[in-house]
Amino acid sequence: MIQIKDLNFAYPRQKALFNNLSIHLEAGSITGLLGKNGAGKSTLLKLITGPLRAQSGEVSVLEHDPRKREVSMLSDVFLVPEEFSFPAITIKDYEKACSVFYPKFDEEMLNRVLNEFELSSDSNLQRLSYGQKKKFLIAFAISTRCRLLVLDEPTNGLDIPSKALFRKVLAGSLDENQLVIISTHQVKDVENLIDKIIILDNGKVIFKQTISEISQRVCFVSGTSDDIDDAIYCEEVPGGYRLMKPNDNVETEVDIELLFNAVTKGKTIE
Amino acid sequence: MIMQTTNSFSLQRFFMLFRQSFRINKKIIGITVAGFFGIVFILLFLFQSKSDFTHWDNNDYMGTFIFLFFILGIVYSSLSFPDFRSKEKSIAYLMLPASASEKYIFEFVTRIVAFVLLMPLLFWLTANIEGAVIHHWVPGLEDYKFSFGKALDKFYSVGGKTVWDTLSIILGCLFIFLAAFTGASHFSKSPLMKTLFTFSLLCGGSFLYVYLLSKGLNIDQYNLPDDRILFISNGHEEAKLFTLAASVINISLLAISWFRLKEKEA
SS (H, E, C) A52-120: CCCCEEEEEECCECHHHCCHHHHCCEEEECCCCCCCCCEHHHHHHHHHHHCCCCCHHHHHHHHHHCCCC
A97/B96 touch (CB, cutoff 8 Å), yes or no: no
Chain B residue numbers with beta carbons less than 8 Å from the beta carbon of A52 are 265-266
Question: Mean pLDDT across the stretch A245-255?
Answer: 86
Are residues A153 and A33 part of one domain?
yes
**Which of A113-117, A160-164, B141-145, B202-206 shows the lowest mean pLDDT across its residues?**
B141-145
A12 and A142, same domain (yes or no): yes
State how far the alpha carbon of A168 is from the alpha carbons of A17, A29, A152, A156, B60, in Å: 34, 15, 18, 16, 68
Mean pLDDT of all residues belonging to chain A: 93
Contacts of A83 in chain B (CB under 8 A): 87-88
Compute the C-alpha angle B18/B20/B26, nearest 5°.
85
Q: Count chain A–chain B contacts defined by CB atoms under 8 A.
A: 84
Residue A28 lies in a domain: yes
What was the pLDDT predicted at B93? 97
Calpha distance B118→B113 (Å, rounded)? 8
Here the CATH number for the domain that contains residue A194 is 3.40.50.300
Chain mean pLDDT for chain B: 91
- My answer on whether A62 and A7 are in the same domain is yes
Map out the domains of chain B as residue ranges. Answer: 11-262
From chain B, the residues in CB contact with A102 under 8 A are 3, 97
A228 and A95 in a common domain: no
Are A81 and B88 in contact (CB < 8 Å)? yes
Judged by CB atoms closer than 8 Å, whether chains meet at B94 and A51 is answered as yes
Q: How confident is the model at residue B232 (pLDDT cuts 50, 70, 90)?
A: low
Residues A96 and A218 placed together within one structural domain of the fold: no
Lowest mean pLDDT across A80-89, A206-215, B150-159: B150-159
Chain A positions contacting chain B at CB under 8 Å are 46, 49-53, 69-72, 74-75, 77-79, 81, 83-85, 87-89, 93-94, 96-98, 100-103
Q: What is the distance of C-alpha B109 from the center of its chain?
A: 12
Above pLDDT 70, what percent of chain A? Answer: 100
What is the model's pLDDT at position B233?
Answer: 63
Query: Least CB-CB distance to A100: which of B3, B99, B266?
Result: B3
Model pLDDT, residue B142: 82
The CB density around residue A51, as the number of other CB atoms within 10 Å, is 23
> Do A24 and A113 sit in the same domain of this protein?
yes
Identify the sign of the CA torsion B173, B179, B185, B188.
negative
Are B2 and A103 inside 8 Å of each other by CB?
A: yes
Q: List the A218-223 sheet strands across, edge first.
A: A218-223, A240-246, A233-237
For B233-250, the pLDDT digits (tens) are: 666 778 888 899 999 999
Final residue in a domain of this structure, among A167, A202, A237: A202
Number of domains in chain A: 2
Are A175 and A240 part of one and the same domain?
Answer: no
Percent residues over pLDDT 90 in chain B: 72
**Predicted pLDDT of residue A127:** 94
Residue A24 burial (10 A CB sphere; 0-12, 13-18, 19+): exposed
**Residue B210, pLDDT score:** 87
Lowest mean pLDDT among A52-56, A149-153, B2-6, B202-206: B2-6
Q: What is the reported pLDDT for B225?
A: 66
Q: Same structural domain for residues A30 and A88? A: yes
Give pLDDT tens digits for A128-177: 999 999 999 999 999 999 999 999 999 999 999 999 999 999 999 999 99
Evaluate whether A178 touches A148 at the Cβ level (below 8 Å): yes
- The answer to the question of residue A157 being in a domain is yes
Rounded to an integer, the average pLDDT of B136-158 is 87
Q: What percent of chain B has pLDDT over 70?
A: 95
Mean pLDDT of B72-98: 96
Does residue A224 have a pLDDT over 70?
yes
Q: Are residues A193 and A226 in the same domain?
A: no
Residues of A within 8 A of B29 (CB-CB) are none
- Asked whether residue A36 is assigned to any structural domain, the reply reads yes
Nearest chain B residue to A42 by CA distance is B266
- Among the residue ranges A131-135, A244-248, A262-266, B194-198, the one predicted with the least confidence is A244-248
pLDDT band for A225, please (50, 70, 90 cuts): confident
Is the predicted pLDDT of residue B156 greater than 90, yes or no?
A: no
CA distance B188 to chain A (A): 16
pLDDT band at residue A73 under the 50/70/90 scheme? very high
- Tell me: do A186 and A255 sit in the same domain: no
Confidence of residue B25 (pLDDT cuts 50, 70, 90): very high
On whether both A190 and A156 belong to a single domain, the answer is yes
Residue in chain B closest to A89 (alpha carbons) equals: B24
Kindly state whether residue A269 falls inside one of the protein's structural domains. Answer: no
**Domain-embedded: residue A207:** no
Q: Do A232 and A148 lie in a common domain?
A: no
B229 phi and psi, to 5 degrees?
Answer: -120, 110
Instruction: Give the residue numbers spanning the domain of A226.
Output: 214-264
Q: Are B215 and B221 in contact (CB under 8 A)?
A: no
Question: Within a domain: residue A209?
Answer: no
